[in-house]
Amino acid sequence: MTTPTPMDPVAQPVRLLIVDDDPLVRVGLTLMLGGADDIVVVGEGADGSEVAALVDRLGPDVVLMDIRMPTMDGLTATEALRARPDAPEVVVLTTFHADEQVLRAIRAGAAGFVLKDTPPAQIVDAVRRVAAGDPVLSPTVTRRLMAHAAGAGAGPGSARGERADRTDRARRRIATLADREREVAIAVGRGRSNAEIAAELYLSVATVKTQVSRILARFGFNNRVQIALLVHDAGLLDDDHGGGGGVADGDGNGDGADRPYRPFA
């Protein structure tokens, strides 16, 4: 008889908490996600202020968190939750154009995000992937968030100086990485998945996961987008496009054509 592995979906289904102030959305998500054999919806919440108590009582592995809620928004709830030890993973529900909100959620430690109009099968896949330790962020989204972060917070008089300071700090941090860690960090910055990085660098997926974990721990990061932002700030993605210094086109292939957004490409 084979002993079930920790990620065996039958032996240990993903425990999911859904938090959204719209009862119809909660019902729809519960029906959709609860129908998966390897996901169990352990509870629902209507506001971010309920999250801490629900997590303590229900012990979810993943929280699917709406951003806009009346008393405590999902961003504040995510920041508070991810600051706790042994916190569950968080996937935020949002709209793609809300770059500032998504970036704040990612910096707070959210493992990714899904759109409310994302096809059901992809939302189910997102929960599975996050529970398995594989954040849900496509190359398109990673690059758009990097572009947004790079241009934020710098007024006309200070933009050049602040950008130079940010680049200098990022390069000093990158310099502390071993060669293989640096290669993995750059691949993360290009929006590659663990499997894609493993294929490119001739490593096992397990080794890539270990390298990513080391980079996160070294810099005190919570997620891969923070690595991508650091690599971007250090200017290590410029060579992707002939040293142009800009962020890639949306699909990341350098042909200048921005492909339609696909959340889990």
Q: Which residue pairs from 202-208 have beta carbons closer than 8 angstroms and sit at least 24 positions apart in sequence?
A: 208/184
Structure tokens at 70: 């009346």
| Cβ–Cβ under 8 Å, residues 145 and 250 | no
245 versus 143: which is more confidently predicted?
143
Find the Cα–Cα–Cα–Cα dihedral 122, 126, 132, 134, rounded to 10°: 110
Q: Which residues pair with 158 in a beta bridge?
A: none
pLDDT of residue 104: 78
| Cβ–Cβ under 8 Å, residues 89 and 131 | yes
In this prediction, residue 250 has a pLDDT band, given cuts at 50, 70 and 90, of: very low
Cα gap 192→147, rounded to integer Å: 17
pLDDT of residue 86: 86
Average confidence (pLDDT) over 164-186: 93
Cα gap 99→149, rounded to integer Å: 9
